[in-house]
Amino acid sequence: MSTLRSLANLLYRRPNLYLALLLVPPLTWFGAIYLGSLLNLLWQGFYTFDDFTMAVTPDLTLGNFAALFNPSNFDIILRTLTMAVAVSLASAVLAFPIAYYMARYTSGKTKAFFYIAVMMPMWASYIVKTYAWTLLLAKGGVAQWFVQQLHLDGLLQAVLAVPGVGGSTLSTSHLGRFMVFVYIWLPFMILPIQAALERLPPSLLQASADLGARPGQTFVQVILPLSIPGIAAGSIFTFSLTLGDFIVPQLVGPPGYFIGSMVYAQQGAIGNMPMAAAFTLVPIVLIAVYLSLVKRLGAFDAL
């Protein structure tokens, strides 16, 4: 008891020691296990992979990173990046009204219902959900049935014929893949926007109306600028999750690799760890570029 007491007193008198004791375990974890393994992986990107013997030798080379700019590899990066941008934009547009309604018009039980409704899809396995979507979007599936009931087959065929968007059916089209991505990442966009709008004092909106702003002006001048940090936070999730995903591109949409599925294929089927490591660097760089852009736009000023 008295040793415990004197230890407590010691920690009280030396707050820095106390802080150090608290921080050592998480910092060790973060530094050694998380950052260490990541750096180790990236380091392997400099190793050499022998195409004939399928062996990895620790001869340092920049060849793997240079290979990223081969037309076929660069195509993969561009395809993934386009999808990530499109998914982030669509998620923001879809999420904003839901988040706005949650933050401004719900309270108590209704708010709890919305939280559960938004998060419930995340409770189910994401592979199961993706498989479910392949069935929903497949030829003769629910989506097609709906389109037929609405007599919009012609429109669907026209959309599916557009190169870069379409495909032979919804489930093998870029559009289908995009829909599944948006569905899966939407909660990650709704919650940060909702949190940002929740912090917006109602008196600011009243002040805007009081000063003569019509609702549309209040939205553009006050609500939107003050919710940008939330949109930025949400888009960091949707953007980086899409960049790294390897399940959806395999199950839905036309053939062709995404960055995630390329990494998976390189290190799994082929055993080319150096090339997989080089590909891993791509999303890290893209997200760093994206973050600095967002920061330059002033999205974090209001934080």
Partner 1 sequence: MPLAVQFTQVSRTFGEVKAVDQVSIDIIDGEFFSMLGPSGSGKTTCLRLIAGFEQPTSGSIRIHGVEAAGVPPYQRDVNTVFQDYALFPHMNVLDNIAYGLKVKGVAKAERHSRAEEALAMVALGGYGARKPAQLSGGQRQRVALARALVNRPRVLLLDEPLGALDLKLREQMQGELKKLQRQLGITFIFVTHDQTEALSMSDRVAVFNRGRIEQVDTPRNLYMKPATTFVAEFVGTSNVVRGELAMQLNGSPAPFSIRPEHIRLGDLVVTSHEVQVSGLLRDIQYQGSATRFELQLDSGQLLAVSQANDRWQAQAHAWQPGQRVQAHWPREAMTVLQETEAR
Within 226-255, which residues bind partner 1 (CB under 8 A)?
226
Q: Does 51 bind partner 1 (CB under 8 A)?
A: no
| Residue 298 backbone phi and psi in degrees, to 5 | 85, 15
Q: For residue 43, what are its two tokens?
A: 């380091």
Which CB sits closer to partner 1, 3 or 203? 203
Per DSSP, the three-state class of 56 is strand
Which CB sits closer to partner 1, 2 or 203? 203
Place of tokens 């899809």: 121
Q: For residue 191, what are its two tokens?
A: 């919650």
- Give burial (CB, 10 Å; 0-12/13-18/19+) of 248: buried
Q: In this chain, which of 222, 251, 281, 291 binds partner 1, going by CB under 8 A? A: 222
**Torsion on CA atoms 103, 303, 245, 189, rounded to nearest 10:** 10
Q: In this chain, which of 210, 255, 269, 296 binds partner 1, going by CB under 8 A? A: 210
The binding track of 157-196 with respect to partner 1, each residue x by CB under 8 A or -, is: ----------------------------------------
Q: Does 108 bind partner 1 (CB under 8 A)?
A: no
Of 207, 301, 285, the closest CA to residue 243 belongs to 285
Q: In this chain, which of 203, 255, 269, 296 binds partner 1, going by CB under 8 A? A: 203
Which CB sits closer to partner 1, 73 or 208? 208
Angstrom distance (rounded) from CA 225 to CA 155: 37
Angle between helices 174-198 and 71-105 (to 10 degrees): 40
Q: Does 58 bind partner 1 (CB under 8 A)?
A: no
Q: Does 301 bind partner 1 (CB under 8 A)?
A: yes
Q: Does 211 bind partner 1 (CB under 8 A)?
A: yes
The residue ranges that bind partner 1 (CB under 8 A) are: 201, 203-204, 206-214, 217, 221-222, 225-226, 301-302
